[in-house]
Structure 1
């Protein structure tokens, strides 16, 4: 009889499931399933009769997201659909001049590349920095020039799992009056993160990976001092100062991050993500980090013992929750198909196989997956 896939009460996963794919789409905790079930039951029985209570859940979600990124002001938190939308709000909201440059890395997920490349028609140049060097932060800093308007980087690269020192880059940007945007989708929920320590002007992250929430709801942090710098390209009833006054003819844009929320909120997603983040607050991010890093070290040790080629950094200060590897006598595509057929949920990324456990993943799940190699 196989060992359970999780011995954590919040993750009653089936015994034959070897889930190592939190860097893609994560399973929900039990409390999140219950929250969604209760919300659906409420809708079925009484509709939106208790909408004011829903708004309280929405406010709690903003507070939990503000806590998750270092205790920022909730007035700096907006709820958008996904990471791509958040990055597009920035890209399309700034006033560009021909010759302006946006600095990214050469390892970015398309979400953090395409919105900037789409500015080519306005004369904006995208500079891709090679991170496969001894000091990737210095490589980014060295790329900053007099035409650099914005730097947009993933805190953790999706393919290799490289953890960047965002504070070092953020300070360099602040000193040069360059905007700094952090794609935090591969760090929030995995490691502690502080937007102010990182000197970030913007932080964007969908909730369906390490935050253990649903797809379709994302954090959008915009530092208060930068909110008015973004021209709004979408307008609707929800983003104005007195959103409940439906008859007003003279309206003003909200004086906080709600100005970026065009229309009706994703209340189903709100209830789900709020429940998921409550687990992180109860545990504390230091506890989550310690649990995850113990599993990553166990995974690295096992891969090295089996002769795998590691494509991810192994130093503790360079890793989060992603380990990418390849096998000597098999293509990544072949390995992926073999693992998939054996019940391992993982991904083919970064030139190899990407395993991404979370803090609750049992060591036996990792060992069983390693045994299949």
Structure 2
């Protein structure tokens, strides 16, 4: 992993524990993006090539996350995709949300004509969800796989049990703070609909993301968005539109989705198992140190299989001290949020712990 740090010049001047806000841009991705735009500048637009690039990205997303091409849509970000899904649902459905979950999940639900109920986010997350499901009998459960404030990660085995008990309940997940941190199989997971922006843990830059929608639930969603790119040819009729293409109206951004394709190829080149091992090592080391210093809240301390995000006790003054020492992190949820990627090191974690 040490050699891969040369791909990220931003690491030379700072300790970057802020991938939960944005992943870093690699040198190889910058080179590809530059070549893409230079070709456009010198030669104009090759529309055949520009249409092929997003298809390469679709294939890369489906391959990395074990999904079918017919289940994989390219979107500019999670918010765009989630709104399309919600507009495609029949009215009056009951939706279970997690309180203080990411706004891009909560706000689109809370501002629509939907019956909303909530479960609490704490160390007993799964029990809270089960109790809320049993009490409210929701049609849909929408949640983030990893919580943006605390780093609490929902248990996938729990989701399988929940789906077995309530097979008609639609599970809709935000994977933005998770996808790219460890191996994930959409085929084998209980989640029905999963969306993610790719600028964080996939380090794909801005303006790209994806939606994964299982074939057996696509008939429950009737997207309203449509545009020429939704069609196969100029002679196509609107009614000929394939389900997944309703998420892709208009011209796709070849720079953005080419970046997604290149970023996933980088993940495959490194190996997701090596990325996951590094992330877990750094996170475990940080959690042990924070527990020793009495800075880790109970909600995180008692959880097994913590995510790559850790929020510890600290105020604005401590945050400023860390920034002064070139440790880049975020003030979130009344504490200080740090996040660890494969391009970080144990030595950097020790630097943080020593300052604390």
Same fold (TM over 0.5): yes
Structure 1 position 233, deviation (Å): 2.4
Q: Single out whichever of 297-306 and 276-285 deviates more from structure 2.
A: 297-306
Question: Counterparts of 2:325 and 2:305 in 1: how far apart (Å)?
Answer: 30
Q: 1:303 and 1:127, CA in 2 relative to 1: closer, same or farther beyond 3 A?
A: same
Unaligned runs of 5+ in 2: none
Q: 1:86 and 1:368, CA in 2 relative to 1: closer, same or farther beyond 3 A?
A: same
Structure 1 position 303, deviation (Å): 2.5
Q: How far does the alpha carbon of each residue in 1:215-260 deviate from its partner, in whole angstroms, 9 at most, with x for none?
A: 22111111123334322222211112x2x31xx3743242241221
Question: Counterparts of 1:295 and 1:147 in 2: how far apart (Å)?
Answer: 39
Instruction: Give 2:182's match in structure 1, choosing from 174, 182, 191.
Output: 191
For the Cα contact (< 8 Å) 1:6–1:360, is it kept in 2? no
Unaligned runs of 5+ in 1: none
Structure 2 equivalent of residue 16 of structure 1: 13
Instruction: Give 2:89's match in structure 1, choosing from 77, 86, 94.
Output: 94
Q: 1:306 and 1:42, CA in 2 relative to 1: closer, same or farther beyond 3 A?
A: same
* Runs of 4+ residues over 6 Å off in structure 1: none
Q: 1:335 and 1:53, CA in 2 relative to 1: closer, same or farther beyond 3 A?
A: same
Task: Confirm whether residue 113 of structure 1 aligns to residue 106 of structure 2.
Answer: yes
Task: Give RMSD over aligned pairs.
Answer: 2.2
For the Cα contact (< 8 Å) 1:103–1:127, is it kept in 2? yes
Structure 2 equivalent of residue 141 of structure 1: 130
For the Cα contact (< 8 Å) 1:66–1:73, is it kept in 2? yes
Which has more helix, going by share of residues? 2
Q: 1:31 and 1:163, CA in 2 relative to 1: closer, same or farther beyond 3 A?
A: same
DSSP 3-state at the match of 2:318: helix
Count of aligned positions: 353
Q: How far does the alpha carbon of each residue in 1:126-174 deviate from its partner, in whole angstroms, 9 at most, with x for none?
A: 111013243x223212222575110011111111111111342254235
For the Cα contact (< 8 Å) 1:141–1:169, is it kept in 2? no
For the Cα contact (< 8 Å) 2:159–2:191, is it kept in 1? no
Structure 1 position 9, deviation (Å): 3.2
TM score, norm. by length of structure 2: 0.91
Task: Confirm whether residue 266 of structure 1 aligns to residue 266 of structure 2.
Answer: no
Question: Counterparts of 2:302 and 2:53 in 1: how far apart (Å)?
Answer: 39
Q: How far does the alpha carbon of each residue in 1:288-336 deviate from its partner, in whole angstroms, 9 at most, with x for none?
A: 1111011111212333344423466246743110011014xxxx22222
Structure 2 equivalent of residue 25 of structure 1: 22
DSSP 3-state at the match of 1:67: helix
Structure 2 equivalent of residue 224 of structure 1: 215
Alignment of 1:1-373 (within 5 A): 8-49=5-46, 51-69=47-65, 71-97=66-92, 100-119=93-112, 122=113, 124-134=114-124, 136-145=125-134, 147-173=137-163, 175-176=165-166, 177-240=168-231, 242=232, 244-245=233-234, 248=235, 250-310=237-297, 313-314=300-301, 317-327=304-314, 332-373=315-356
